Amino acid sequence: MPYSRSPLPRSRPFTAPRPEPVRPNTPLLAVTGSTLVLAAREEGYGSAHHGVRQGAARRSARRRVHPYARLFAPPGARAFTAGNLLARLPMGMFSVAAVIMIAGSRGSYALAGAVTATGLAATALAGPWTARLVDRYGQARVAVPATAIAVLGSLALLLCVRYGAPDWTLFAAYTATATTPNTGGMSRARWAHLHRGDAAALHTANAFEQAADELCFMLGPVLAAFLCTALFPEAGTLTGAVLLLTGVLVFAAQRATEPPAAGRTAASLAPLHSPALTGLLAVFLATGVVFGATEVVTLAFADDRGHGAWAGAVLALQAAGSGVSGLLLGSLAPARRPRVRLLLCVAAMAALLTLPALAARTGSLPLLAGALLLAGAATAPTMVTGMTLVQRLTPEARLNESMTLAVTALLAGIAAGAALGGWAAEHTTAARAYAVPPAAASLALLLAAFGAYRPGKRREAGTAR
């Protein structure tokens, strides 16, 4: 068979296989000599995405930390808080101690009430000026000498009562205590400085400060009454003066946490020139009426039932309910719309205050105590949200002054509420006089809803930015 050449199959041109795209987290293989190298590729291509993931992880870790642990994390926070609590406790002691001391020595509750009322009025006038000096020159430079003057006034009152000085000297001595600085406002200013830009931490700080207020005003009168009756009449005033001076010295020594002084060059608007803040102060004034009327009416109700010795314990239950609710509120997320939360809190306060009014109709003091415990649960959230709005409506250079004005409005409301509640209890009955606190809370709700701070909406946004 002859040899025949068969044609070869037609070959295709050689093309290298296209490499598959490397997927995230796919290992990369390489050979170096006799060694196989395995390399891992991070998901997401590039360090920018890796940085985003790390930032998200850090934020998630911060969220897992308890709010109060994060609040006290900065160095010096616990030290200035301890000093502040020592200095704040006498705020609830001085008036009760002065009344017991003067009435026991001079035999006149009218004189004792007039002296303490004069001191309250002087504090309302001098407090904002002291706070303005604190903003301008710094906390330590102003708070220490102002406290020294106030302590000397307390000691002068003690000596005048002890050695039978004329009545007018009591008024003069107690007026000197008006220079006592607002340690609660200074503490809130420190929190705002340490946690500026962190809305959650500031919310927790305001809740803690309100709970501290409730604790001090709950324990202060009890401690003062115990010291004056168990030791000697001047013991309450003397102990309060020592605690105040010691606490302020410890507080002022923590210079690392002190906010910088604004100086004379601060061109910020005075707080009372802001329609927004002025309207909010009106809400604080009406809220103070609630507190003052509740205190006096409760004292009258307990006295009418022959249980006057238990009146302090009943009022302490209201403060305890407020303190617990304040601490719980601090562990929650801050309000995105604090104006709306303020309306809800004031509305809840007005609704819960109807419970003591209903309980008083039954004549049962234990039932009234439980109703006041529930009613107090709305107090701290209202005050915390109100103070948050004060901070948002105020430039940093006027923060102490604005918060002192809020406290002054609250004290003025307490004085007015005490007078109104006393008049209602005397001219009607103590049970019917419990209608005054919910009526005052309803007035606060109207002020918050319609007349408070609508004109300051743009100012608040600018301050927050």
The tens digit of pLDDT for each residue in 240-287 reads 999 999 998 988 888 888 877 766 544 455 555 566 677 888 888 888
Residues in the chain: 465
Task: Give the tokens for residue 36.
Answer: 């196989």
pLDDT at site 246 = 92
**To the nearest whole number, what is the mean pLDDT of the chain?**
75
**DSSP annotation of 16:** P
**Helices then strands (H, E): number in the chain?**
19, 2
- Smallest Cα–Cα separation from 220: which of 140, 330, 315, 111? 315
pLDDT at site 155 = 92
Residues 6+ apart with CB under 8 A from 313: 369
Give 35 or 288, the one with higher predicted confidence: 288
Q: Tell me if 393 sits within 8 A of 272, measured CB to CB.
A: no
> From its phi and psi, is residue 33 left (phi > 0), alpha (psi between -120 and 50) or beta?
left
CA distance 431 to 300: 9
378 φ, ψ to 5°? -95, -5
Give residue for tokens 């606060």: 444
The model's pLDDT over 135-176, given as tens digits with 9 standing for 90+, comes to: 788 888 888 999 999 999 989 998 988 888 888 888 888 888
pLDDT at site 4 = 44
pLDDT at site 306 = 77
Q: How confident is the model at residue 27 (pLDDT cuts 50, 70, 90)?
A: low
Q: Tell me if 283 sits within 8 A of 451, measured CB to CB.
A: no
What pTM, to 2 d.p., does this model score?
Answer: 0.67
Q: Tell me if 381 sits within 8 A of 332, measured CB to CB.
A: no
Furthest-apart CA atoms within the chain: distance in Å? 153
- Residue 115: other Cβ atoms inside 10 A: 26
Asked if the model's pLDDT at residue 371 lies above 80, the reply is yes
CA distance 379 to 71: 22
CA distance 358 to 348: 16
Residues 6+ apart with CB under 8 A from 69: none
Q: Tell me if 135 sits within 8 A of 268, measured CB to CB.
A: no
CA distance 193 to 206: 13
Mapped onto helix, strand or coil, the DSSP state of residue 35 is: strand
CA distance 438 to 134: 36
**DSSP annotation of 448:** I
Asked if the model's pLDDT at residue 68 lies above 80, the reply is no
For residue 86, CA distances in Å to 79, 128, 214, 219 come to: 11, 22, 14, 12
